Amino acid sequence: MSDENVYEMNQKSSNDIRKYIKIGISILILIVVIAFGINSMYIVKEGEYKVVRQFGEVIDYQSEPGLKFKVPLLHSVTTLPNKKMVYDITEREINTLDKKRLVIDNYAIWEITNPQDMISTARTEVGAESRMGEFIFSVVRSELGSMNYDEIINEEGSTRGNLNKRVTDRVNELLTRDNYGVQVDDVRIKRTDLPDENEQTVYNRMISERESTAQEYLSRGEAEKKRIIATTDRDVQEMLSKADAQAAQIRAEGETEAAEMYSQAFQRDTEFYQLYRTLESYKTTIDGETTIILPQDSDYTRLLLGYLE
């Protein structure tokens, strides 16, 4: 093979190598461009915030769902929830106005309203919940600390009103004041318990107080019963006295009227009246065991024997 042919073959090989290098560089550039393009895009989903940072500092956040853009390598994106969350607060003890200890267990429904403020003040969700929990406990302790134990556990007789709403409003005032970028939608007390060490003592005291109250009610009832009985007896005696007086008056009037009638009858026929009175006296003086000794010539005897003419 001649030198000319060798030179042509080497030249062709060099051209092919340069061609392949150019193709490789083009592909690499395309890959880099695609990677930069992909890295400059991010997607915001429903129910989340995308927080854009530059050198660790928050410069923007997005809440509307869709495709968004950032500067590759310069900007980083983190995700925060854009929905209502439940924070179960650790139970803690408080003292009531009447110096009783209570264990309060409550929870809060909350949401992030401004991720930039939340990150600036609380840094993380855990930090925001921790600070929010401190505010809630402080407000609950202040509210329940101004009430007696019986008012807290007795819904019907309580003067506390809408405690949950008052606590929620006050906690939001504190969070807004300090620019935490979060909002509490509702605070609820799940339960109020006595500490284990004095639960039985308080229960015994409550039982004693209720027994004392029951005894007081029984005493009042007994006293009221006696008062009603005495009043009724007095009313009955008054009614009987009035009835006896009225009956005596009626009898007196009847006897008077009868005496007048007897007098009128006596005046009309004296002999008949004497006969009638004599016959009436027989009913009184004579029965199956009566023995009477009378003169035979007396009018009484003769009338009794039927000899009177």
> To which H or E segment does residue 41 belong?
strand 41-44
CATH class of 85-193: alpha beta
* Segments of the chain with pLDDT less than 50: 156-157, 308
φ, ψ at 55 (rounded to 5°): 55, 40
> Residue 157: what pLDDT?
46
SS3 67: strand
* CB-count exposure of residue 269 (10 Å: 0-12, 13-18, 19+): exposed
CA distance 98 to 145: 9
The DSSP symbol for 9 reads H
> Residue 72: what pLDDT?
83
Domain extent listing, the chain: 1-39, 85-193, 269-285+295-309
> Residue 80: what pLDDT?
93
Q: SS in 3 state form for 71-135? A: CCCCEEEEEEECCCEEEECCCEEEECCCCCEEEEEEEEEEEECCHHHHHHHCCCHHHHHHHHHHH
Task: Spell out the residues 6+ positions from residue 52 whose beta carbon is closer than 8 angstroms to its own.
Answer: 58, 59, 60, 61, 62, 70, 75, 76, 77
Q: What pTM value is reported for the model? A: 0.56
φ, ψ at 231 (rounded to 5°): -65, -40
Whole-number Cα distances in Å, 62 to 70, 72, 74, 76, 126: 11, 17, 17, 13, 21
Query: Among positive and negative, which fits the CA dihedral 56, 60, 63, 66?
Result: negative
Task: Spell out the residues 6+ positions from residue 98 whose beta carbon is closer than 8 angstroms to its own.
Answer: 148, 149
> Residue 170: what pLDDT?
93
> Residue 67: what pLDDT?
86
> Residue 56: what pLDDT?
80
pLDDT in tens, 223-236: 898 889 988 989 88
Whole-number Cα distances in Å, 18 to 6, 10, 209: 19, 12, 102
